[in-house]
Amino acid sequence: MSHSEPWGPRSPLPARPLASCCETQNRRTAMADLRRSLTEGLPGNPSLRPSIDELRSRIRKRHKRRVRRVGISLGILAAMAGGIGIATHDGRQSTRVRVIGPPPTASTPGPEGTATSTASGSGVGQVPSDFAPISFAAASSDTFWLLGTARCGDGSCTAIMRTTDGGRSFERIPSPPLPLRASSEVRLANSRDGYLFSESGVGYSPSDTGSPESGFYVTHDGGTSWHQVTIGGSVIAFATAGSEAYAVVATCTSGDCSRYRFERSLVTQDTWSDVPLPVTPSHPIAPLTAYGKHVWLSVSSGTRAVLLSSQNGGDSFATLDSPFTPDLGGKLVATSSTVLWAVVPTGLKSHAMRSTDGGASFKTLAARSLGNTYYAPEMLENSADVGAASDSTAVLSIGSAVYPGLYRTTDGGASFTKEPTLQPDQGTSLKWIGFTDRTHGAALEYTSASSPALSLDHFWLTSDAGATWARVTINSAVPSPAAVAGPRCTTTQLSASLGPPDAGAGHVAVQLILKNTSARTCTLYGYVGLRLLDANRRPMATRLFRGPGMSVTDPGPTLIVLLPDQLASAWITFNEIPVDGDPSPCPVSAYLQITPPDQPDVLVIEGRLNPCGRASVAVTALAPGTAVR
């Protein structure tokens, strides 16, 4: 399985649609687990550690065993309820999810030739409360999908959730009859053309490419219907860029693959054509990325790794030295026709690298500035990850619970600074990072590497190229207020102010009050967005959470009809006592940026808040009037 660029189409256009998030990080995490289990207690005696060859052999055996555990793993995936509440994203804030969706549709015929028709799926419309995601894909900063499972009778069914408004609402769309595996992926080339398949190389390598389990499914109508397409084998790697889709396929049986082929197709069509490769791959791990007509593919061929580079959409390939270790894969991200970012596992650790000459050479990044000194200062954990916004700007996760969080570079990797607003929970690490364009990106968090279950109860979004991040908490789906009569309150109709603080035992609660200053009745529903600003009105680190605080309860979203001059309010709570890692005293804001629900514009008011806990602030849902605790 490849660890290709997770955000899908890379083209010279400013916006680069996203593809799947849940890539071969599972592969690298398994490798990190194995390394830890084999080397525990021996940090000072490298000679006692197993050889790379032994590690590779044990990893392959472990992956085969994981096939039998897939059903168990999916059953214990952290269940994600069907709604998302976004803190702040590009100046916007959302309520919890409203649930919309079309009625179930009948089967639709697939195109002639290589495609066959399939059922559209079941349970369309409603977001199930037991939805457990395993893959994430996006076509833009507003349109993204979640692939996962939901209960279906006594078993589970494949489920896909879609948002077209940046996560403010979700709908369940039809899904094809593809049993999900740990390696299942959903990819988007754009808002209409998408793909669903299971990649090989992580212990799941079907021998029958025509079976539903090994199916390669395509939609050309935004997920309303799906059809199965014969692509010529099991998918090893996949990428899209502009109007083209690329894949590496092979004939795989019981984990062993042969007859590797490079395939390509227009994203609007279902006809795939073979392109000869100048070398014969020998292992089903092939990092693949594309930018416009430029395609890069790293393959293992015998005892060496080879980087194949094409400047004409795969018509021909040049052979270059690959930075990757044979059989171990990694992650490869193209941000232009010349710049590539990479995370390169070595078996015990990994390197972060960058090329500025189209892959002809790679330079190790200055990871020593990240504070990781367990091994060589330039090396990271095998589960490290990189997300690249541009040729010069990227964010890097070390992949270790010892050094959690994100580190950001704006000078092409010459130096990194720790990003203060994205801090994983205790005992968790960042699983995956990616960008949809030069400013918008996302990151996923997961539990300790020793746990087989991924924790996707929240993720993170950025709208400023990774400078600041907002935590997106996944909540239960709630009924939609959209059908209720009454226009929403726009930012221009509202004023904001703070009530007096109520403090005790280090906990502070202050009421945020919104007033309808217009002459028209309007409605509010859900949560405000909030960001701390300094004296120059510049953003400060802010970790915003939705829900109750230490001393207040959260009433949950409710529709508020706000007459002229009427008030609505929410509680803002935080802890003002420094904890481990906090400066003393904790930073104090001068202003607050408030985003009313479902509005793109913000209000800025004076507000002195000094939240500790890495600038953690909780906000409750808006309620009518004002209240005394």
* Selected residue with higher pLDDT from 378 and 3: 378
Q: What is the mean pLDDT of residues 431-445?
A: 83
- Of 482, 493, 498, 597, which is closest to residue 546 (Cα–Cα)? 597
Residue where one domain finishes, among candidates 447, 475, 503: 475
Same domain, 575 and 440: no
Lookup: tokens for 24: 């071969």
Tell me how long the chain is.
Answer: 629
Instruction: Tell me the C-alpha distance between 435 and 431, whole Å.
Output: 14
Residue where one domain finishes, among candidates 475, 504, 539: 475
pLDDT at residue 13 above 90?
no
Structural domain includes residue 17:
no
* Selected residue with higher pLDDT from 401 and 372: 401
Phi, psi of 211 (to 5 degrees): -80, 155
- Amino acid making up residue 330: G
Confidence (pLDDT) at 379: 61
CATH number of the domain that 544 lies in? Answer: 2.60.40
* Selected residue with higher pLDDT from 489 and 56: 489
Confidence (pLDDT) at 60: 47
Structural domain includes residue 46:
no
Structural domain includes residue 137:
yes
Domain that residue 119 falls in:
25-32+62-475
Same domain, 576 and 520: yes
CATH number of the domain that 204 lies in? Answer: 2.130.10.120
Same domain, 471 and 564: no
Residue where one domain finishes, among candidates 475, 500, 515: 475
Phi, psi of 195 (to 5 degrees): -140, 150
Same domain, 398 and 504: no
Confidence (pLDDT) at 213: 38
Structural domain includes residue 394:
yes
Q: Most distant CA pair in the chain: distance in Å?
A: 78
Q: How many CB atoms lie within 10 A of CB 437?
A: 19
Same domain, 545 and 454: no
Q: Return all residues near 567 (Cβ < 8 A) that are at least 6 apart.
A: 513, 514, 515, 516, 624, 625, 626
Same domain, 495 and 468: no
Helix, strand or coil, per DSSP, at residue 575: strand
Tens digit of each residue's pLDDT (9 = 90 or more) over 97-107: 222 233 333 33
Confidence (pLDDT) at 133: 67
pLDDT at residue 601 above 70?
yes
Q: What is the mean pLDDT of residues 298-320?
A: 93
Q: What is the mean pLDDT of residues 420-436?
A: 71
Lookup: tokens for 456: 């996707």
CB 341 within 8 A of CB 323: no
Q: How many CB atoms lie within 10 A of CB 470?
A: 23
Tens digit of each residue's pLDDT (9 = 90 or more) over 18-77: 444 444 444 444 444 444 444 443 333 333 344 445 444 544 444 444 333 333 333 323
Q: Return all residues near 5 (Cβ < 8 A) that are at least 6 apart.
A: 19, 239, 288, 289, 290, 331, 332, 333, 334, 434
Confidence (pLDDT) at 51: 47
Helix, strand or coil, per DSSP, at residue 476: coil
Least confident span in 72-76, 352-356, 428-432, 567-571? 72-76
Confidence (pLDDT) at 306: 94
Confidence (pLDDT) at 401: 52
Same domain, 270 and 353: yes
pLDDT at residue 547 above 70?
yes
Q: How many domains does the chain have?
A: 2
Summary mean pLDDT of the chain? 73
Structural domain includes residue 96:
yes
At residue 157 the predicted structure's pLDDT band, cuts being 50, 70 and 90, is: confident
Same domain, 253 and 329: yes
Q: How far is CA 504 from the centre of its chain?
A: 38
Same domain, 343 and 369: yes
- pTM of the shown model: 0.59
218 beta partners: 195, 227
pLDDT at residue 459 above 80?
no
Structural domain includes residue 45:
no
Helix, strand or coil, per DSSP, at residue 363: strand
Structural domain includes residue 553:
yes
pLDDT at residue 545 above 50?
yes
Please classify residue 569 by burial: count the beta carbons closer than 10 Å to its beta carbon, then call 0-12 exposed, 13-18 middle and 19+ buried: buried
Least confident span in 113-122, 229-238, 241-250? 113-122
Give the DSSP letter of residue 28: H
The C-alpha angle with vertex 56 and arms to 178 and 231, in degrees rounded to 5, equals 30
At residue 427 the predicted structure's pLDDT band, cuts being 50, 70 and 90, is: low
Least confident span in 60-64, 270-274, 471-475, 590-594? 60-64
Q: What is the mean pLDDT of residues 288-302?
A: 93
Q: What is the mean pLDDT of residues 176-182?
A: 75
* Selected residue with higher pLDDT from 134 and 185: 185
Same domain, 129 and 265: yes
Same domain, 117 and 217: yes
Structural domain includes residue 481:
no
For the chain, give the percent of residues with pLDDT over 70.
65
Bond before 578 cis per omega within 30 degrees: no
pLDDT at residue 354 above 70?
yes
Q: Return all residues near 61 (Cβ < 8 A) that are at least 6 apart.
A: none
Same domain, 290 and 389: yes
- Which H, E and C letters describe 54-106, residue by residue? HHHHHHHHHHHHHHHHHHHHHHCCCCCCCEEEECCECCECCCCCEEECCCCCC
Confidence (pLDDT) at 201: 47
Confidence (pLDDT) at 393: 96
